[in-house]
Structure 1
Amino acid sequence: MADFAVVGGGVAGLVVARRLAAAGAEVVLFEQTQRLGGPVARHDVAGIALDAGAESFAVRGGTVAVLLGELGLSGDIVAPRPGPAWLQPASGDAVPLPATALLGIPADPLAPDVVRVVGIAAAERAVELDALPLPEISADTRLGPFVRERLGDDVLDRLVAPVVHGVHSQHPDDLALTRAHPGLPDALAAAGSITGAVSRLRAAAPPGSAVAGIRGGMHRLVSSLADDARSRGVDVRLGVRVDDAGALPGTVVIAAPGIAAPAGPSRRIDLVTLVVEQGELDAAPRGSGLLVAHGAPVAARALTHATAKWEWLRDAAEGRHVVRLSYDTVPTDPVATARTDAETLLGVRLPVVVDAAHVTWHRPAAAAASDLVVVGETVAGSGLAGIIGHAERTAAALLAR
């Protein structure tokens, strides 16, 4: 009989199963689909192997880099090409995002690149508000109301909300402060202000980009994880739906949404990828891409200019360009809408769309408190760094029992 049964073959499930098996445990992993990895997936568009979901990871803490090293992928960790991301305001021209910020929260509201977005009156008001005593922070504190109280409506709506939506796929009013960034609560307690907390976190971060990727695509993580887990004896069973986790052998680890009771509804995300021919994009007019403020004249919530962001992908595209747009609500004609939105956001015409693809993902709600052992986005929040780190800690705790 297996020592552990892992339900769900996404990255968290694979990490837990691999770590348990590496310690000598007998592990069986159940995945109801015929594919491992969850939203870390591959699709081919115009003959180019691309990420259909996650395309980068946060470098903080080195968690993902350590795992990639164990999988023999250290040499394929790549940083994005240097250059700012941009913001498309509700009105007016796109502007570079402030250089010193965290989730759009500025370290200095009076910095010129912040004032350019929110205006001098809002910037001065933010300084006044953040000088007030810091309120008590709890697990129920939401990022949006907290930022609104500390920095004002304009900073929240014009800066923080577009960035948080791009990172977490939800409005900051719906995001717990403790899930927004793992170091933010402690930094707030130490600094006594939200701008001071951002300054501390930015100063403590390693030099260079806050994110990295894998040459060839993040989907390589899944194939390497799966191969390594199987080599350590994990019994991977695809196409098996688990309705009663209590009937499984051994200690059960839930790594799939829908089994542990959710605390709210899931969120749908539609991604449309375009492969285009347009020489004007060689200059990367909007850097690696844009985040979009509510009220802007497009349906997209964000755009990634992938061939401007990743050198390896620019080489693979052979003169073509790859752009990916994300949507909260699926357009009636996803490809046509994405093309029009991309033209608006990038400021160039896209007369030749070589190929396109549309995929839909569902971001699960946080799991309600329970006695189950749960890993994955429902408890660790979004982002591979948090998900992998939580899965590793969970495996260590199970082995220590």
Structure 2
Amino acid sequence: MKHVAVVGGGISGLTTAYRLRTLLGDAVAITVFESTPATGGKLRTAEVGGVPYDVGAEAFLARRPEVTALVTEIGLAERLVHPTKARAKIHAGGAVLGLPPGTVMGVPGCAGVVAGVLSEDGRRAVEKERSLGPVELTEADLALGPLLRGRFGDELVDRLVDPLLGGVYAGGADGLGLRATMPGLAKAVAEGAGSLTDAAASLLPKTPGTAPVFGTLTGGLTTLLDRLRELSCASVRTSAAVRALTRTAAGWRLDIGAASPAHAPADTPVGVDAVVLAVPAPAARKLLDGVAPAASAAFAEVELASMAVVALALPPGTQLPDASGILIGAGERDDDGVPYASKAFTFSSNKWAHYGGEGPVLVRGSVGRFREPGALTGDDDSLVAAVRDDLARLTGVTAEPIDTLVTRWGGGLPQYGAGHLDRVTRIETAVARLPGLAVAGATLHGVGLPACVATADAAARRIAAALGV
């Protein structure tokens, strides 16, 4: 029997294990190695106020098909839900405003949709963009911030684009790449769009609001992981860190150590026929150093952002603003000039119908931006206090929580800078030269769940083809 090791027990690793099982059946043994005490990666469902609540990723992009198809395939379609009609808001220009529709990650399809968020000068700058003519793409990816600032002005970037990107990457436009973060927009430009405004307009749905943008699962997204783990029939080893990867005549050797090597001896090395690395960039860099140096070097170039989710369970009946949440730009301040520690709030009891009813009112605050640790340097109590203060200043909600939970994601979000696509090409080219080795995960083709599932599916198919079982 062939033996495949999947290193990493997050959504990418467990999807890989499941897909390997569907492709290869009982002809393969699958072992998942997870360095932490529990599988899940950036998905984590915890009990907050007595309710299962996602304190990592809380939703997935439903307009991409991968997660929805996977949920249906594994029999969880009855748990699939979409947001209510509550709309998001944004703190822009010193005020809380409705998040304008008709944009692609803040890039508008026409100047009119952002008129309420920008000053009149800012609106005119957006209106002028069409007259600048087509964007000239280069072989290398373009830095997104300078491109947008040069064509639309600073206001659009600072007030709208950056807060939206911050919710996905914990980084702003100035540190990200066009093709890496907005591939649809870049493709529209490459296909002849006369301006970025025209490119955005071509991507917007013809009948807005007819298809849900996001989805999640009742009971929390870890129900997806639990089902994948169950159906994969994989042996899952937690608190088992893969310390080294070596190519052998028979396949691959994994040197395994406890999560705290100073307190436990290393395990016996494990020999396998194939390996999938579904781990963050720093771990991938280390494991590939001796077997695929070019891939290791490319992983080493990936910068990471840290963040934290502060979950608040407020007393039943607490009144929240009529919104699904509020995004907050990096430079935003209150009326007294005091900045906010948080970058966003999600009013989960408004956003998701299954959190409504007579239970606690659930809110999550997100803290942490790329290269700006800010409140993340404090302890949990101070972080909760900072988020509650932000919530009070933004919304007037001062209710004492009945439960709180701080979840820190150190180095949790890879930054997709202008050179990101080149790095990924170098990684995949180097790995392709080594039979029985594949990579998957959020470092490659997108940080969202659908992109992670897509990389896992591709990795499993590569390994299945290599094994020829």
Matched, 1:289 2:325: yes
Q: Secondary structure at the match of 1:243?
A: strand
Q: Distance in 2 between matches of 1:363 and 1:265?
A: 10
Asked whether the 8 Å contact 1:85–1:287 carries over to 2, the reply is yes
Q: Distance in 2 between matches of 1:47 and 1:363?
A: 26
Q: Distance in 2 between matches of 1:76 and 1:28?
A: 28
Relative to structure 1, the CA distance from residue 46 to residue 278 in structure 2 (aligned partners, 3 Å threshold; closer, same or farther) is closer
State which of 282, 289, 307 in structure 1 corresponds to 2:349: 307
Q: Distance in 2 between matches of 1:352 and 1:278?
A: 11
Relative to structure 1, the CA distance from residue 169 to residue 162 in structure 2 (aligned partners, 3 Å threshold; closer, same or farther) is same
Residue of structure 2 equivalent to 1:174: 175
Q: Distance in 2 between matches of 1:387 and 1:197?
A: 26
Q: Distance in 1 between matches of 2:448 and 2:242?
A: 25
Kindly state the Cα deviation for residue 160 of structure 1 after the two structures are TM-superposed.
Answer: 0.4
Residue of structure 2 equivalent to 1:34: 37
> Identity across aligned pairs (percent)?
30
Q: Secondary structure at the match of 1:393?
A: helix
Q: Distance in 2 between matches of 1:99 and 1:251?
A: 46
Which residue identity does 1:89 align to in structure 2?
A
Q: Distance in 2 between matches of 1:195 and 1:392?
A: 34
Output one character per residue of 1:241-266: Cα deviation in whole Å (capped at 9) or x when no partner.
11112223222211011223332332
Matched, 1:383 2:448: yes
State which of 385, 388, 401 in structure 2 corresponds to 1:353: 401
Q: Distance in 2 between matches of 1:69 and 1:17?
A: 17
Output one character per residue of 1:250-306: Cα deviation in whole Å (capped at 9) or x when no partner.
22211011223332332110111111127452xx42410010012223110000001
State which of 90, 101, 104 in structure 1 corresponds to 2:103: 101
Residue of structure 1 equivalent to 2:15: 15
Matched, 1:255 2:297: no
Output one character per residue of 1:1-48: Cα deviation in whole Å (capped at 9) or x when no partner.
644221111100111121112211432221111211101011111211
Matched, 1:270 2:314: no
Which residue identity does 1:225 align to in structure 2?
L
Q: TM-score, normalized by length of structure 1? A: 0.91
Kindly state the Cα deviation for residue 337 of structure 1 after the two structures are TM-superposed.
Answer: 1.1
Kindly state the Cα deviation for residue 219 of structure 1 after the two structures are TM-superposed.
Answer: 1.9
1:67-216 correspondence to structure 2 within 5 Å: 67-91=70-94, 93-111=95-113, 114-131=114-131, 132-190=133-191, 191-203=193-205, 207-216=210-219
State which of 390, 409, 412 in structure 2 corresponds to 1:341: 390
Asked whether the 8 Å contact 1:287–1:309 carries over to 2, the reply is yes
Q: Distance in 2 between matches of 1:384 and 1:155?
A: 27
State which drifts further: 241-250 or 305-314: 241-250
Output one character per residue of 1:191-224: Cα deviation in whole Å (capped at 9) or x when no partner.
2322222222222788232111111222211111
Asked whether the 8 Å contact 1:90–1:295 carries over to 2, the reply is no
Q: Distance in 2 between matches of 1:160 and 1:130?
A: 18
Kindly state the Cα deviation for residue 395 of structure 1 after the two structures are TM-superposed.
Answer: 2.1
Which residue identity does 2:351 align to in structure 1?
K
Q: TM-score, normalized by length of structure 2? A: 0.78
Relative to structure 1, the CA distance from residue 144 to residue 343 in structure 2 (aligned partners, 3 Å threshold; closer, same or farther) is same
Q: Distance in 1 between matches of 2:50 and 2:124?
A: 51
Matched, 1:61 2:84: no
State which drifts further: 97-106 or 21-30: 21-30
Relative to structure 1, the CA distance from residue 130 to residue 393 in structure 2 (aligned partners, 3 Å threshold; closer, same or farther) is farther
Which residue identity does 2:33 align to in structure 1?
F
Residue of structure 1 equivalent to 2:261: none
Which residue identity does 2:88 align to in structure 1?
A
Output one character per residue of 1:309-365: Cα deviation in whole Å (capped at 9) or x when no partner.
0110113xx2431111111131630111111111122x2232321111111013243
Asked whether the 8 Å contact 2:7–2:279 carries over to 1, the reply is yes
Count of residue correspondences: 390
Q: Distance in 1 between matches of 2:462 and 2:243?
A: 26
5+ residue gaps, structure 1: none
Which residue identity does 2:341 align to in structure 1?
A
Residue of structure 1 equivalent to 2:258: none
Q: Secondary structure at the match of 2:356?
A: helix
Kindly state the Cα deviation for residue 80 of structure 1 after the two structures are TM-superposed.
Answer: 0.5
Asked whether the 8 Å contact 2:144–2:177 carries over to 1, the reply is yes
Which residue identity does 1:250 align to in structure 2?
D
Residue of structure 1 equivalent to 2:53: 50
Relative to structure 1, the CA distance from residue 115 to residue 138 in structure 2 (aligned partners, 3 Å threshold; closer, same or farther) is farther
Asked whether the 8 Å contact 1:77–1:214 carries over to 2, the reply is yes
Asked whether the 8 Å contact 1:129–1:152 carries over to 2, the reply is no
Kindly state the Cα deviation for residue 390 of structure 1 after the two structures are TM-superposed.
Answer: 2.1
5+ residue gaps, structure 2: 247-252, 255-271, 286-298, 334-339, 432-437
Kindly state the Cα deviation for residue 82 of structure 1 after the two structures are TM-superposed.
Answer: 0.7
Q: Secondary structure at the match of 2:162?
A: helix
Q: Distance in 2 between matches of 1:96 and 1:175?
A: 25
Q: Distance in 2 between matches of 1:206 and 1:322?
A: 25
Asked whether the 8 Å contact 2:169–2:414 carries over to 1, the reply is no
Asked whether the 8 Å contact 1:90–1:294 carries over to 2, the reply is no
Asked whether the 8 Å contact 1:101–1:198 carries over to 2, the reply is yes
State which drifts further: 195-204 or 158-167: 195-204
Residue of structure 1 equivalent to 2:367: 327
RMSD: 2.1
Relative to structure 1, the CA distance from residue 314 to residue 262 in structure 2 (aligned partners, 3 Å threshold; closer, same or farther) is farther
Residue of structure 2 equivalent to 1:218: 221
Residue of structure 1 equivalent to 2:435: none
Matched, 1:374 2:399: no
Which residue identity does 2:76 align to in structure 1?
L
Which residue identity does 1:99 align to in structure 2?
P
Q: Distance in 1 between matches of 2:220 and 2:53?
A: 6
Relative to structure 1, the CA distance from residue 28 to residue 177 in structure 2 (aligned partners, 3 Å threshold; closer, same or farther) is same
